[in-house]
Amino acid sequence: MLKTLGAQIKEFKKDSIKTPLFMILEVLMEMLIPFLMASIIDDGVEKGDIRHICIIGGWMIVAALIGLYAGIMGGVCGANASAGFARNLRKAMYENIQQFSFSNIDRFSTAGLITRLTTDVTNVQNAYQMLLRMFVRAPISMVCAMIMSFYINAKLASIYLVAVIILGACLFFIISRVSGYFQEVFKKYDDLNASVQENIAGIRVVKAYVREDYEDKKFSKASYNVYKMFVKAEKILSYNAPLMQFAVYSCILGISWLGAKMIVTDQLTTGELMSLLTYCMNILMSLMMVSMVFVMVSMSVASAERITEVLEEKPELTNPERPVMEVEDGSIVFDHVNFSYKKGSGEYVLKDINLDIHAGETIGIIGGTGSAKSSLVNLISRLYDVTNGSIRVGGMDVRSYDMETLRNQVAVVLQKNVLFSGTILENLRWGNKEASKEECIRACQLACADEFIEKMPEGYETYIEQGGSNVSGGQKQRLCIARALLKKPKVLILDDSTSAVDTATDARIREAFAKEIPGTTKLIIAQRISSVQGADRIIVMNDGQVDGFGTHEELLANNQIYREVYESQTQGGGDFDEKGGA
435 contact partners, CB below 8 Å, separation of at least 6: 428, 429, 443, 486
Query: Is the pLDDT at 558 greater than 80, yes or no?
Result: yes
DSSP H helices in 313-395: 373-378
In 3D space, the residue among 189, 23, 58 whose CA is nearest the CA of residue 119 turns out to be: 189
Q: Could you tell me if 28 and 34 are in contact, meaning their C-beta atoms sit under 8 angstroms apart?
A: no
Q: Could you tell me if 337 and 385 are in contact, meaning their C-beta atoms sit under 8 angstroms apart?
A: no
- Residue 332 Cα distances to 16, 123, 327, 328, 373, angstroms: 55, 49, 11, 11, 16
Quote the radius of gyration of the chain (alpha carbons, Å).
36
Collapsed DSSP state (helix, strand, coil) of residue 456? coil
Residue 201 in any domain: the answer is yes
Averaged pLDDT of the chain: 84
> Are both 308 and 372 inside the same structural domain?
no
Beta bridge partners of 546: 541
- Size of the chain in residues: 582
Q: What pLDDT band is residue 336 in, cutting at 50, 70 and 90?
A: very high
> Are both 347 and 267 inside the same structural domain?
no
Residue 320 in any domain: the answer is no
Q: Could you tell me if 580 and 368 are in contact, meaning their C-beta atoms sit under 8 angstroms apart?
A: yes
Give the HSE-up count for residue 577: Cα atoms under 13 Å, Cβ half-sphere. 5
Q: What is the pLDDT of residues 497-555, one digit of tens each?
A: 777 677 788 788 888 888 878 889 999 998 888 888 888 999 999 989 999 999 999 99
Q: What pLDDT band is residue 472 in, cutting at 50, 70 and 90?
A: confident
Indicate the residue among 312, 347, 380 that finishes a domain: 312
Residue 325 in any domain: the answer is no
> Are both 289 and 416 inside the same structural domain?
no
- Residue 564 Cα distances to 66, 534, 542, 569, angstroms: 89, 18, 14, 9
Residue 446 in any domain: the answer is yes
> Are both 253 and 107 inside the same structural domain?
yes
Q: Could you tell me if 225 and 191 are in contact, meaning their C-beta atoms sit under 8 angstroms apart?
A: yes
Collapsed DSSP state (helix, strand, coil) of residue 367? strand
How far apart are alpha carbons 199 and 212 in whole angstroms? 9
Q: What is the 8-class DSSP label of residue 330?
A: -
Q: What pLDDT band is residue 391 in, cutting at 50, 70 and 90?
A: very high
Q: What is the 8-class DSSP label of residue 464?
A: E
Show the domain range for 506: 332-577
Q: What is the pLDDT of residues 96-132, one digit of tens each?
A: 888 887 777 777 777 778 888 888 899 899 889 888 8
Indicate the residue among 283, 312, 341 that finishes a domain: 312
